[in-house]
Structure 1
Amino acid sequence: MNLWTIQTLVPLPVLVPLFAAGLALALHRYERVQRIISVVALSVVVAAAAGLVVAANDGPVVVDVGGWAAPVGVNLVADPLAAIMLLVSSIMLLCVLLYSMAQGIADRNERTAPASKSAKLLQEALEAQDPDADESGRRDVLPVAIFHPTYLILAAGVADAFLAGDLFNLFVGFEILLAASYVLLTLGGTSERIRAGSVYVVVALLSSIVFLLAVGLVYAATGTVNMAQLAERLPDIDPGVRLGIQALLLLAFGIKAAIFPLSAWLPDSYPTAPAPVTAVFAGLLTKVGVYAILRTQTLLFPSNEKLEAVLLVLALATMLVGILGAVAQDDVKRLLSFTLVSHIGYMIFGVALATQASTAAAIFYVVHHITVQTALFLVVGLIERRSGTTSLDRLGGLARLAPGLAILFFVPAMNLAGIPPLSGFLGKVGLLEAGVFDGSVLAWVLVAGSVVTSLLTLYAVIRAWNKAFWQASTDDEPLPEQAPLPWGMVGPTAALVAVGVSLTLAAGPLYDYAERAAATVMDGHTYIEAVFPDGAPRGTGESNEVTNGTEEDRP
């Protein structure tokens, strides 16, 4: 591909979903047309992301939006890290979309998006015993006219966050995906969902305020928000101001990534949403926060031993508190929500060690976790549809009734626990090796904590599989009869499980790519030279002259 073709690919993951969202909203009366638009748009994003993975292998690809060169204009940067994150997230978004459409079609309601028929049947059974049963058990009703445009806007926001070349555009990407997530989380209108959505909105707004405050402080101190230029200017400002900026950014991204003690909101917010929405949130949204931490820590603050030590402590606390919460759960959704929090700790462990080996392992683990966690939540959606519940106390004997479903849960569950030779094991081994190589006392404590967390994860998922699939149900009230699972829902779930297994089969090339991505992000000069081929302007904003969309440095 020539340079023009490669550069054309960069804005497509943002522009195509936004255009498709507007088109889908305009054609809201034609549900089938909306589905076609959504599938085509996300398929184009997957193809563009795959092309960027290949192109970025030779170095970051930069596009100046509107022809205005950085730092005056907005630039999109597709380096190996952004490209691989974009590819795995777009594959996940497409699979979840197919799952959600099949669920809506299976429910025989052309005016609703993904809904759970089993929830309705269960509610009818409960109301037969208790006419005043809580409305939280009622059938999910998600208007298709809203769901598809909102889902596409979410995809555009995620892509913009990954490709953003300046902090303010990163903030815009976050706000786009968060605004869409507010709608998706509360669609259906049950009191439980509105309550959980309200908590999520308040927490997300708090993180956005902190992030915007940090962006303002960055501009006041350096005269720019372009990340390549900031990498040049931040070392020259007052160390105390620089530390304050770093702490504010970590606080904002830590809330979004659900790092302990900023993670209490997640287990109560995610399980209330429909299965496809929960799968997207669990698999992707927290990883955007991890990506932001990885990007800013390596490019803007390459060495700060004080905060790196703090990050190591928070990584350990996130692992242990999350997995202890998971062990105590009797609902599969909440169990997986706590394991999600726990395994964010592994990623922060890799970032905090701040070496090329640990960063490569963290990137590999993020790719693995997006795929596996999403697949598990989709399987839980199938379990809920098959049995009408996700309570481990009510489930039982599903291995006999639905052996395929048992396999679909078992494979990603073992991958999550890190059973060799699956990709979860390979990612954890990479992190442990990086910790051992570091050799500090705190790194060794993290190594031990990682092993304990992995063993407890294995215990939690085996216990869940045993109670849901192997043992007979201990509940006296039989579960309502369910129709066979729609192949349109099983297919995308199986595809994501297969992608997780393929990460093991292709672990060598993928880990090599993760190492190249780590080398690029650790070597800030590569990123800076891609954005500013003639050298980044230095000095404060007052010392630069803006001419025809370029910034010339004055002595």
Structure 2
Amino acid sequence: MTISPHIITALAPLPVLVPMLAAAATLVLGRRPRAQRIITLVALIGVLVVSGLLLYLADRDGTTAIQVGGWDSPIGITLVVDRLSAMMLVVSSIVLLAVMAYAVGQGIRDGSEDQPVSIFLPTYLALTAGISNAFLAGDLFNLYVGFEVLLAASFVLLTLGASADRVRAGVSYVMVSMVSSLIFLAGIAFAYAATGTLNLADMATRLDGIPSGTRTAIFGVLLVAFGIKAAVFPLSTWLPDSYPTAPAPVTAVFAGLLTKVGVYAIIRAHTLLFPEGELDNVLMVCGLLTMLVGILGAIAQSDIKRLLSFTLVSHIGYMVFGVALSTQSGLSGAIYYVAHHILVQTTLFLVVGLIERQAGSSSLRRLGGLAAASPVLAIVFLVPALNLGGIPPFSGFIGKVALLQAGSADASVLAWILVAGGTLTSLLTLYVVARVWTKAFWRARADAPEGDLADVSPSALLDESEADISFDDRADVGRIPAMMLIPTVALVAVGLAMTVFAGQIIQISDRAASDLQNRSIYIDAVLGGHPGGEVQEAPR
């Protein structure tokens, strides 16, 4: 059966429209949690199916631009489906669906029956719409709107339950995000003042006639805004203090996806608007420091959530490295690594939620004997942990080799330094996950310095110095609900599929990188005239 290329016109808006309509429906059905959950899961499954079709069509037919509401480009709202945006939609929809299934299994709470669960699902769906909108946006302001939808939804999810730690982390997160948004708005204003347009394709053509100093200044402002959202050093200090306090499903989706939206924005701006590479050396230095500072911070942590938050920061450096090389091989490696890292990092944070459910804590000082207590949990942790560490033949190893080969092919002094830094970071990542394995899973619980406290509820702790340590005061510690375990295992399987089908996935990332390098494909698809893409009008 042949799928008509024109069907993409109807499909492209759906990853944004479906979750927004579902969010409205679940908000109306706030007193019917069962109906809320069914609507949410059906909507996320629908987004996944649509995203898969968009990737198939984009890979088969090339880049397509859709004009929403009948306004011609560059005036109206443009949605652009190319291999990069479609690939990000597929990976993000897989993660969003798995995390939602996990949250349903957890009871969409984190230790309290009094959580405002009726607002969780509409907010989560709004977050989904914001992510999809950011990936599809064909103009800077629509990209900004996607970021703001993310910010609003993120604050609600981050402070769910209104505990002191979560509110404190949420306020810090929002303040940093607001600064990023203000800088982004300034960048939009500067770009519009210089070019007279916000449409990315139109702006790309007009920037060619702008003095190089002005272009570099605009790119620098946008990089700061996107760098904060992507947690690129030195703009990453907010992340380790914000994510670990949230409920396990929220932490997982934040860690897996939100920083990658910032990375996506960097890739799109660098390749489409500013391909000259004026700030590539700056990006390389930031990538190197992001790798090293992040992994050194992870080594110093004794809580698994904070440890993984620092490894999250560290591995953003690999993606920045690939982008900064400004080569097809570097971009291809970065795209593959983004997809790999979204899956693996999300999986590991879900596993931490299972560890807390099983043992009552995520502190390495209080954990031990988990391999004997729950062999399934041990396997579910070990596979993505080795994947993150870059052990062959996992996708983490494949992605790192692709990036290191691209750096070696560049052969500049700075690129060789990044290759050495990336290799060291990979080894230190393996050390970090091995330390978690030996302490939490391999050693006996009795050998843990505070092993006897792991099951103690917060109210039983009389020492005020322990008041900031988070515990789940639940009667079900030690039992892992099947609906929490199944989505986690499914994500482990998808991560392994990235290894099994690495050849085909890398071929797609190669073609996506080739499209990014030849920006005329994107420009002509939006403005018209390119044979590989055509401007189509969405139905009103």
TM-score, structure 2 length as denominator? 0.92
- Show the 5 A alignment for 1:315-326: 315-326=287-298
Aligned pair 1:331/2:303, yes or no?
Answer: yes
For residue 261 of structure 1, give the secondary structure of its aligned residue in structure 2: coil
Give matches, 1:70-469, under 5 Å. Answer: 70-104=73-107, 113-116=108-111, 139=112, 141-305=114-278, 307-469=279-441
- In 1, the alpha carbon distance for the partners of 2:371 and 2:137 equals 46
Q: Is the 2:106–2:484 Cα contact (8 Å) retained in structure 1? A: yes
Whether the 8 Å CA contact 2:226–2:266 is kept in 1: the answer is yes
Find the counterpart in structure 1 of residue 54 from structure 2. 52
SS at match of 1:64: strand
**1:504 is matched with which residue: 499, 502, 514?**
499
* Secondary structure of 2:220 counterpart: helix
Alignment correspondent of 2:452: 477
Letter in 1 for 2:85: A
In 2 relative to 1, CA 329–233 (structure 1 residues): closer, same or farther, beyond 3 Å?
same
Q: Which moved more, 1:411-420 or 1:3-12?
A: 3-12
Equivalent AA in structure 1 for residue 32 of structure 2: Y
Q: Is the 8 A contact 2:271 2:517 kept in 1?
A: yes
Q: How big is each residue's C-alpha offset from its partner over 1:74-107, in whole Å with a ceiling of 9 and x where there is no partner?
A: 0100100000000000010000000001100xxx
Distance in 1 (alpha carbons) for counterparts of 2:75 and 2:5: 22
Report how far residue 201 of structure 1 moved: 0.3
Q: Structure 1 CA distance, aligned partners of 2:142 and 2:438?
A: 46
- Matched residues in 2 for 1:333 and 1:205: separation? 25
SS of structure 2 residue aligned to 1:400: helix
1:519, CA displacement in angstroms? 0.6
Q: What displacement does 1:429 show?
A: 0.3
Task: Give yes or no for contact 1:28–1:145 (8 Å, CA) kept in 2.
Answer: yes
- The one-letter code sitting in structure 1 at the alignment partner of 2:62 is G
Instruction: Give yes or no for the alignment of 1:520 onto 2:521.
Output: no
User: How far did residue 244 of structure 1 move?
Assistant: 0.9
* Residue-by-residue CA offset, 1:90-134 (whole Å, 9 max, x unaligned): 010000000001100xxxxxxxx3323xxxxxxxxxxxxxxxxxx
Cross-structure match for 2:533: none
Amino acid at match of 1:74: I
Once residues 83 and 449 of structure 1 are traced to their aligned partners in structure 2, the CA distance between those partners, rounded to angstroms, is 31
Say if 1:387 and 1:479, in contact at 8 Å, map to a contact too.
yes
Q: Name the counterpart of 1:108.
A: none
Q: What secondary structure does 2:65 align onto?
A: strand
Structure-1 separation of matches of 2:57 and 2:306: 40
Is the contact made by 1:329 and 1:335 (CA closer than 8 Å) also made in structure 2?
yes
Shift of 1:19: 0.4
**Structure 1 counterpart SS, 2:334:** helix
Q: Is the 8 A contact 1:253 1:293 kept in 2?
A: yes
Q: Deviations over 1:191-226 (max 9, x none)?
A: 111111111000000000000111011111111010
**Does the residue aligned with 1:187 lie in a helix, a strand or coil?**
coil
Deviation of the 1:53 alpha carbon: 0.5
> Deviations 1:129-188 (Å, cap 9, x if unpaired)?
xxxxxxxxxx48532210000000000000000000000000001101111001000111
What's the % identity of the aligned pairs? 59
SS in 2 for 1:465: helix
Residues 287 and 318 in structure 2, CA contact (< 8 A), matched pair in contact too? yes
8 A contact 1:318–1:342 mirrored in 2: yes
Alignment partners' CA distance in 2, 1:534 and 1:525: 10
Query: Which residue of structure 2 lines up, in the alignment, with residue 36 of structure 1?
Result: 38
Task: Report deviation, 1:483.
Answer: 4.2
Partner of 1:544: none
Check whether the contact 1:165–1:228 (CA below 8 A) recurs between aligned residues.
yes
3-state SS in 2 of match to 1:75: strand
Q: Give distance in 2, aligned partners of 1:499 and 1:142.
A: 31
Per-residue CA deviations over 1:416-440 (Å, capped at 9, x if unaligned) read 0000010000000000000000000
Number of corresponding residues: 505
Rounded to whole Å, the distance in 2 between the matches of 1:343 and 1:479 is 30
Deviation string 1:361-385 (CA, Å, 9 cap, x unpaired) is 0000000000000000000000001
Letter in 1 for 2:439: K
What is the CA–CA distance in structure 2 between the aligned matches of 1:476 and 1:452, rounded to whole Å?
Answer: 32
Q: How far apart in 1 are the matches of 2:81 and 2:246?
A: 32
Question: What's the secondary structure of 1:394's corresponding residue?
Answer: coil
Q: Conserved in 1, the CA contact under 8 Å of 2:239 and 2:309?
A: yes
Give the drift of 1:62.
1.4
Q: CA deviation at 1:232?
A: 0.5
Q: Secondary structure at the match of 2:208?
A: helix
- After TM superposition, what 4+ stretches of structure 1 lie above 6 angstroms from structure 2? none
Superposed CA offset, 1:2-43 (max 9, x none): 233121110000000000000100111100000001001111
**Equivalent position SS for 2:191:** helix
**Which residue is equivalent to 2:486?**
491
1:476–1:212 CA distance, 2 compared to 1 (3 A): closer
- SS for the counterpart of 1:63 is strand
Q: Determine if contact 2:325/2:410 at 8 Å carries over to the other structure.
A: yes
CA RMSD across the alignment:
1.2
* Aligned match of 1:9: 11
Partner Cα separation in structure 1 for residue 83 and residue 246 of structure 2: 33
DSSP 3-state at the match of 2:66: strand
Show CA shifts across 1:222-252 (max 9, x none): 1101011111110101222111100000000
SS across alignment from 2:69: helix
How far the C-alpha of 1:304 sits from its partner, in A, is 2.3
Q: Distance in 2 between matches of 1:142 and 1:317?
A: 39
Secondary structure of the structure 2 residue equivalent to 1:236: coil
Unaligned runs of 5+ in 2: 456-475, 531-536
| AA at the equivalent of 1:241 | T
TM-score (norm 1): 0.90
